[in-house]
Structure 1
């Protein structure tokens, strides 16, 4: 069952320096019981996309379509979005310490969210808070519910954030960098927890991260973003075994390898991500792209004049590259087909 369908999503912010085109024409779907991984460098538009889905942008122009279980959220009354947000779709924010209120106990914050959607007595909401804290593996949940965020370790705070998201039994969870700043052992525990909850409850999950190791572990489908738009989209196994976009290949090549020879330097993608205030013409990745530099004059001209569409190159596999080929990536496609 399709929980979420996003089509041609665009998000723009007006600033004193000009318009920031943070997201441009992004499409994806999320199925119940499956995980979509969204990956890319900082500034690629991952978090902006998730906040747009949740209806949490203020002062931004959001266009396109976001349909949750058949309900269109773009342009919908605030009451409609608020009724779904937290209840049927929830978010685990990137930094648990700053996302949780320092003046209220963990239990108070979970109970407040529960009462906002279900009403009822405070005693019932508190019991629900204790229950979900136990569900996510926090020891002595009845006691820990009365403690404040600063009294929790980083891993426990992240579990508390997941408990808050789960308190109203949502169908969709958006996890924005849920393992950032956690040590490797705690990262593994958090990921195992999310996968177990998905298996037990049939949750749809959007996992947003820059860590390809996390994506390889949990994702069924992967959306690679660069410069505010989609660079590649494919099943996880396909993306890791047969990447087509030069940016995706660059990300994979930059991963440390156990079979690397002693003394081998890590590979990096040269340059920096583009400014979304003044992005380059044509393909946003071409200033950093080795395939572009090795292409013919005709190919390089196309890269600087055309913004490549996300086109189908294999079954369930789309890429936004005009110089795409499965091996060297240097064949020039004169006509990009949708």
Structure 2
């Protein structure tokens, strides 16, 4: 097991953003983390890499057998970018406008591998070529604003993969892209994963993306795990009402043109003042009295399927 997360919790003062999240990830596999905004999925991904400034983190995150919770910042810096890398949601705000993209890719390569400036520049051009950017040696001398949105995302992927990490965390990497460019970016990540045996965590609110790339799915709600299963199992037999609501919200090709959009009624819970009992019960069409008072445990169902619901099989 490359990544083993057990009981991970993240809080910012009185705000408990993530509570008791557990999962494992092997090399060559993709875990999809899905949920509405505020569900805790991005905070979870940042905490894995130690990018949780000002937060209190408890539980265990073991990467290749090494405990990261409580590790020294210097040790985490040596891992980040070298063996663990992240693609952020907005490449324009993540890339520095003053430096060329080649300089920004080369910097990480020099820092982690001790390469010379010439070798780092060569590696930057190679990385741009690997992600499908034409004329990579010339484009390496361009600044971020000279690239389109899809090309900037490719630059971010090149930067993340320049040192050939073992784990790639992608936080909403295609949100701002049109569907054609989105498909190209997802195909690119999958191709590089197959070539290198990468472990990938795909964080998104888009179940279409999850269906396309994930081997296993972690559904989060209110900072907790609502459901976890192999992707094929989850899409065929969702066992939590929240997961069913997310799937029902997807538009269908066989819907008539005038079909109104379906949505889960209500809003996600406040993480400062979460409701008692099951965090989803105020929005759940199957709620019972027990749901209003008792927090359901994440129970194991057949075939390794896990769901936190008093109904068991709604």
Q: TM-score, normalised by structure 1?
A: 0.92
For 1:12 and 1:262, locate their aligned partners in 2 and report how far apart those are by CA, in whole Å: 44
Say which of 269, 285, 310 aligns to 1:322.
Answer: 310
Q: State the Cα deviation string for residues 100-153 of structure 1 (Å, max 9, x = none).
A: 111111001000011110112111111110000000000010011111111110
Q: State the Cα deviation string for residues 211-243 of structure 1 (Å, max 9, x = none).
A: 000000000000000000000000000011100
The Cα of 1:266 is off from its aligned counterpart by 2.0
For 1:87 and 1:196, locate their aligned partners in 2 and report how far apart those are by CA, in whole Å: 20
1:268 counterpart residue number: 263
For 2:56 and 2:136, locate their aligned partners in 1 and report how far apart those are by CA, in whole Å: 42
Q: Number of residues paired by the alignment?
A: 314
Residue aligned with 2:194, SS: helix
1:93 counterpart residue number: 88
1:111 counterpart residue number: 106
Residue aligned with 2:286, SS: helix
For 1:96 and 1:30, locate their aligned partners in 2 and report how far apart those are by CA, in whole Å: 26
Q: Does 1:54 align with 2:53?
A: no
Say which of 24, 35, 40 aligns to 1:40.
Answer: 35
The Cα of 1:262 is off from its aligned counterpart by 4.0
1:310 counterpart residue number: 298
Question: What 5-or-longer segments of structure 1 have no aligned partner?
Answer: 293-299, 330-338
Q: Which runs of 4+ in 1 moved over 3 A?
A: none
1:13 counterpart residue number: 12
Q: TM-score, normalised by structure 2?
A: 0.99
Preserved contact between residue 170 and residue 201 of structure 2 (Cα < 8 Å): yes
The equivalences for 1:136-155 within 5 A come to 136-155=131-150
1:283 counterpart residue number: 278
Question: What 5-or-longer segments of structure 2 have no aligned partner?
Answer: none
Say which of 156, 165, 170 aligns to 1:175.
Answer: 170
Residue aligned with 2:202, SS: strand
The equivalences for 1:112-261 within 5 A come to 112-261=107-256
Residue aligned with 1:315, SS: helix
1:84 counterpart residue number: 79
For 2:178 and 2:209, locate their aligned partners in 1 and report how far apart those are by CA, in whole Å: 13
1:3 counterpart residue number: 2
Q: What RMSD, in angstroms, separates the aligned Cα atoms of the two structures? A: 0.8
The Cα of 1:77 is off from its aligned counterpart by 1.4
The Cα of 1:264 is off from its aligned counterpart by 2.2
For 1:213 and 1:120, locate their aligned partners in 2 and report how far apart those are by CA, in whole Å: 40
Preserved contact between residue 109 and residue 115 of structure 2 (Cα < 8 Å): no
The Cα of 1:308 is off from its aligned counterpart by 1.1
For 2:208 and 2:92, locate their aligned partners in 1 and report how far apart those are by CA, in whole Å: 24
For 1:254 and 1:275, locate their aligned partners in 2 and report how far apart those are by CA, in whole Å: 22
The equivalences for 1:291-310 within 5 A come to 291-292=286-287, 300-310=288-298
The structure-2 alpha-carbon separation of the partners of 1:146 and 1:312, relative to structure 1 and needing over 3 Å to count, comes to: same
Q: State the Cα deviation string for residues 4-32 of structure 1 (Å, max 9, x = none).
A: 11000000002xxxx11000000011110
For 2:23 and 2:2, locate their aligned partners in 1 and report how far apart those are by CA, in whole Å: 11
For 1:106 and 1:30, locate their aligned partners in 2 and report how far apart those are by CA, in whole Å: 31
1:296 counterpart residue number: none
